[in-house]
Chain A
Amino acid sequence: MVAAAETAVNGEAGTTALAWIVTVLPLVSFFLIVLFGKRLPGGGAWIGIVAVGAGLVMSLVVLSHFIGGGEATELSEDWFRVGDLRFELGQYVDGLTAVMLVVVTTVSLCVQVYSLGYMRGDARFTWFYAVISLFTGSMLNVVIANNLLQLLVGWELMGVCSYLLIGHWWEEKENSDSAIKAFITTRIGDVPFLFGIFVLIVATGTANIPEITGAIGGGAISRGLLTAGALLLFGGAIGKSAQFPLHVWLPDAMAGPTPVSALIHAATMVAAGVYLVGRMFSVFVNADPWVLTFVAAIGATTMLIAALLAMIQDDIKRVLAYSTVSQLAYMVAGLSLGPAGYTAGLFHLFTHAFFKALLFLGSGSVIHAVHSNNMSEMGGLRRPMPVTFWTFLIGSAALSGIPPLAGFWSKDEIISTAFHEQHYIVWGIALVTAVITAFYMARAVLLTFFGEYRGHGHPHESPATITGPLVVLAGLSVVVGFLNATAFDVTLFSEWVHFGEGEHLPFNYGFAAISVVGALAGIAVGYRLYARWRERDPLRRLGPAYTLLERKYFLDDVYLRGVVRPIQYRASAAVNWSNRFILDGIVHTFAWTARQFSRLVEVVDRRVVDRGVNTAAGLTGFTGGILRYIQSGNVQRYAVFLFVGVILLAIGISIRA
């Protein structure tokens, strides 16, 4: 992009013109790190950190444009032309873009600083930083793109980067399998996405997002095309944002280094799907109403099944992974509520990025210390790792929706909007899921940080490069919710990110109370079940009395065996089973079928022919090397095929003529 050639479209670009520099910085740093990283002290990591840090500062400047109620701006120039077809390279910056710029750069900065400690001594340290930079740049490109084809470039590049990062430790076969799974699964979602882009181009004659939005607003576009376009775009979002039934890749994506998980799960990749729905929201709103109902159904289903799965995981990163799937579903469900839920859904995307990055980085800190992902080998870590503990606790509370932390405000907004919009099923499921969320986070915190240490060695607190980002993100997880704290009439976020008039619900203490009580109930159940897990109590000597006390008059057993366990395990196990066997089965069957089919074609193509030929050669005797090869008869067969082709062509023409 050449700054001089840019033209502002609507409104003075002003400071928003910085947005594309924010995007280009990590891309430049990618090349610098690849080219010179290994020769630099620190393996080139500082290039990436400085680039994204500068990007963060500029993103804040861009955001400041909207604090005073600035208008959306667009800059664009021809990337290239094919005849009359225009391919643009440009940026469209509105409040949503600005907010996402800040989120992506913040999380990426934290992740990169954190990786200084976490990835130290890694054999491919420099490469890791290079790909992280490219990944960040790709996501930023998705965020600022003013046209769908440019967005697609970033979208696909992210797919490649995620594949590289998830497979970073490819020495274990499982990891490279996970990388492939992530790449292929999201690519399956890319197919409808690509079709969706073409449908919109056909419908509106342009790939430019503001123009598409304008054309739809003009009402000239057929509703059928919009419906098809919305469904297809949503297909892309399902793949990238790991919604049912394409959510299978995300838990496996845990195979990558933990900072990568944080980046993928918080600010990039999975956020892209939700962002896409938000960016192209006018397509969804103007399509047939059942499209949004369908989106709601996917959101509600995903939300619940993922949360149930999170309850039974032993691997701490898997708990968080399923939690991400579930929280993304909240965002999807929020968006499915139509214009009223637009701000709520995207606000949750915003807040979730901070506390989920925090949780992942926190889990990484723990894993770094105990050298295991399994919570059964953790326990009692709050004493040796106080910083990690407190920050993780804040993240968990934020995720569980405890006021006044970030997750409370955004989740509550989704839940109360669902009720207000009379989507009672979504509302009900969202509430239930909120309870489960609080429960599994309580479980994770208790198993990891409370009780006795059950692992090996003596865990220590992580170095400052690791705890520093944790503290920063914890601080942000506390404060960012106040950007839209409707209870205090703060509605900054809705001023930046809104659809249409951007009406927002007044804060309802009743609903807030229900949410909070639900969350607390979840935590309480978690505490009851896991606070004393695996502790050997000296009071055991009391014998039967202890047993009675231990079993709490056997009431817990009744709850546990009769209610909680069966529900918890059966439901979770059932979902787990269907996940493992049915959905994975479908993916595998698909791959298998494709492979078998191609083998079949191969057989027809070559083997059958060859075999016939070889038999013939055998019969005519050992005529020897060259002759057998050259006069194998293969060629005649090939010529027959060629002739068949000619005949088919002739038939084709006679049909036309």
Chain B
Amino acid sequence: MIAQISPPELDFLPVAPELVLAGGGMAIMLAEAALPRVTSRVLLIASLLIVAGAAGITVALWGWDGEPTVLAGMVATDRFAVLIRGVLLAVAAIGAVYGHHQFDRAGERRPEFFPLLLFATTGMTLIAAASDLILTFLALEILSLSLYVLAGFSRRVTASEASMKYFLLGAFSSAFFLYGVALAYGATGTTSIGGIARALSGPSEGLPLAMVAAALLAVGFSFKVAAVPFHMWTPDVYQGAPTAVVGFMSAATKVAAFAALIRVFNVAFLPLSWDWTPIVGVLAAVTMVVGSLLAIAQTDVKRMLAYSSIAHAGFILTGVMAANQEGIASATFYLVAYALMIVGAFGVVLLVSGDERTSLSSYAGLAVRSPLLAALLSLFLLSLAGIPPTAGFMAKVSVFRAAVDAGHTWVVIVAVLASVVAAFFYLRVIVLVYMKEPEEELQPDRSPLPALTVAVPAVATLVLGVFPGLVFGLLETASIFRW
């Protein structure tokens, strides 16, 4: 008997952004090898063009009206994937400028930075669109491997340490993730996210097994989004890795991993939502509380932002646990807001501290030295603290409201308390910046290009704080998964 194997119809347009990114990354790598004299500025412009090309295709994909999934059900074409891709590409462009600036200024020649950044972005955009756990895992590894290298991208010993830690723990968590994929297959007979959902919504034998699978996948995601107790790597890596890289990875990794998490839990495991919401709720609560409390004790700005990013993972999880369209929309909005403010905050850190002088005390009197950077930093901190009229406030309010509406009041109580605690330490930095005399001679970097780059998320943070409808309007359709 000859099995009739019909090759799947191949429609590459929905993965064209990834093809452009990966192809562009390889082209830059080859070009750099062939032309060793090419300057970092040229590579930056090339990378930005590649990102812009990918973004152009992404925008075009918004109007996609073909199949909900392509490439044998591997890639989703829904607007959620499009929106997340857009955010990731914006962050990647900002990250490229940061990296160029940091290495150029330090006089280091790091042409590999750009291809690695593009590969990481490829993995991230792919994971946002992955509608099969195999592809999710693949994309997770693509982005992780690039980030491991990027994290160690400095002559400083701490960077190598950060990179090594990130790699070892990342490998460890990947194992859990892969095991989760295997168990999901065992429970449902498929790795397709839509297929799992179909299998679980019918009468099924494998429910406990599916729950275990969900838990193991949650471990893998929790590691990437830095949810407690899988957060241990975050402060060390954020502190050790080059600031430009941290700016990129803190924003983009969280967005990408959360996008995948939201898709997996709100599609594949939605039939089990009654079982997993309390667990995610506990995870969210613990993450918010531990992140906020630990941030208070920090004396290093990068560590403080690391704990802050941990706490924010908890707030986003609060939206995820609502497990309905409001929850998805508000969590996604939160992701957008978070990406803007954290990439901006690290941009200011890059300009003020570089890699070395990251002690909080060196921020005393920043307002005197550089009023612009001080104002930008304060804006990002206010947004991180969730104070109007910033995107951070709207994000918190909508996440809280979605969770309350879904009946998870207790998590919101914890969240509100945690956000008050958090206000303490953000405020402390603003006080340092504006209300203290400078202790040491600190010369903030006055280069115009990165300052301009930081201004972009700043303006966006304000605009989304006043007109959140700009993103929520998109989310009316972008928070619906098609599978």
Q: Which residues of A contact B (CB under 8 A)?
A: 78-85, 87, 149, 152-153, 156-157, 159-160, 163, 167, 170, 176, 179-180, 183-184, 187-188, 190-191, 194-195, 198, 201-202, 591, 594-595, 597-599, 601-602, 605-606, 625-626, 629-630, 632, 634-635, 637-639, 641-642, 644-646, 648-650, 652-653, 656-657
Contact = CB atoms under 8 A, between A and B. Distances in A.
Interface stretch (B38-46, B54-62, B292-300): B292-300
The main secondary structure of chain A at its interface with chain B is helix
A443 B436 CA distance: 38
Interface stretch (B355-363, B396-404, B447-455): B396-404
Interface string B416-428: 1100110110010
Contact of B416 (A149, A170, A195): A195
B326 A601 contact: no
B164 A80 contact: no
B398 A87 contact: yes
Given A153-B389, A170-B434, A646-B176, A634 B427 contact: no
B326 A85 contact: yes
B230 A82 contact: no
What are the 3 tightest A-B residue pairs by CB atom distance, in nearest-first order?
A80-B469, A170-B435, A83-B326
Given A81-B476, A657-B275, A201 B389 contact: no
Given A80-B469, A188-B420, A198-B412, A599 B297 contact: yes
Contacts of B160: 626, 629-630
Tell which of B160, B232, B290, B402 has the most Cβ of chain A within 10 Å.
B232
Given A157-B389, A202-B404, A648-B229, A629 B172 contact: no
B186 to A, nearest CB: 16
Contacts of B219: 642, 645-646, 649
B50 to A, nearest CB: 33
A191 B401 contact: no
Nearest to A636: B168
A595 B157 CA distance: 31
A422 B378 CA distance: 52
Contact of B158 (A159, A629, A641): A629
A191 B233 contact: no
Given A160-B382, A180-B427, A85 B417 contact: no
A156 B435 contact: no
A201 B401 contact: yes
Interface in B137-183: 157-158, 160-161, 164-165, 168-169, 172-173, 176
Tell which of A81, A159, A598, A599 has the most Cβ of chain B within 10 Å.
A598
Contact of B282 (A78, A652, A657): A652
Interface in B188-245: 208, 211-212, 215-216, 218-219, 222-223, 228-230, 232-233, 235-236
A652 to B, nearest CB: 5
Interface in B276-297: 278-279, 282, 290, 293-297
Nearest to B216: A646
Nearest to A644: B229
Given A81-B472, A84-B326, A630-B161, A605 B229 contact: no
B416 A194 contact: yes
A198 to B, nearest CB: 5
6 contacts: A84-B326, A179-B431, A594-B421, A606-B235, A629-B161, A648-B229
B388 interface: yes
A602 B297 contact: yes
Contacts of A184: 423-424, 427
Interface residues of B, number: 77
B233 A638 contact: yes
Nearest to A79: B469
A89 to B, nearest CB: 9
Interface string B376-417: 000000100001110001000110111011000100110011
Tell which of A83, A163, A652, A656 has the most Cβ of chain B within 10 Å.
A83
B110 to A, nearest CB: 20
Contacts of A87: 397-398, 468
Contacts of B468: 79-80, 87
Contacts of A648: 229
A188 B416 CA distance: 11
A178 B421 CA distance: 18
B329 interface: yes
Given A85-B326, A642-B223, A653 B279 contact: yes
B165 A645 contact: no
A598 B294 contact: yes
A605 B329 CA distance: 34
A635 B393 contact: no
B232 A594 contact: no
Contacts of A606: 235
Contacts of B294: 598, 601-602, 605
A167 B215 CA distance: 49
B370 interface: no
Contacts of A195: 413, 416
A147 B413 CA distance: 21
B473 interface: yes
Given A598-B297, A652-B279, A642 B412 contact: no
A82 B398 contact: yes
Contacts of B400: 194, 198
Given A598-B296, A641-B229, A191 B326 contact: no
A653 B211 contact: yes
B388 A639 contact: no
Contacts of A597: 293
B169 A635 contact: yes
Interface string B455-483: 00000000000011100110110010000
Contacts of B297: 595, 598-599, 601-602
Given A160-B387, A201-B405, A595-B297, 16 more contacts: A79-B469, A81-B472, A81-B476, A82-B329, A82-B472, A153-B389, A156-B393, A179-B431, A183-B423, A187-B423, A598-B297, A626-B160, A644-B229, A645-B222, A645-B230, A649-B215
B469 A78 contact: yes
Contact of A156 (B211, B388, B431): B388
A167 B432 CA distance: 12
B296 A198 contact: no
A83 B329 contact: yes
A82 B402 contact: yes
Contacts of A201: 401, 404-405
A597 B436 CA distance: 26
A187 to B, nearest CB: 6
B266 interface: no
A179 B413 CA distance: 27
Contacts of B417: 191
Contacts of B421: 594
Tell which of B297, B382, B473 has the most Cβ of chain A within 10 Å.
B297
A156 B387 contact: yes
Contacts of B404: 198, 201-202
A163 B423 CA distance: 13
A180 B431 contact: yes
A153 B391 CA distance: 12
Nearest to A80: B469
Contact of B275 (A83, A198, A637, A656): A656
Nearest to B208: A657
B131 interface: no
Nearest to B475: A82
A557 to B, nearest CB: 48
A638 B398 contact: no
Contacts of A152: 388, 397
Contacts of B282: 652
Tell which of A152, A157, A649, A652 has the most Cβ of chain B within 10 Å.
A649
B420 A191 contact: yes
A153 B173 CA distance: 40
A434 B275 CA distance: 61
Contacts of B329: 82-83
A85 B401 CA distance: 8
A648 B228 CA distance: 11
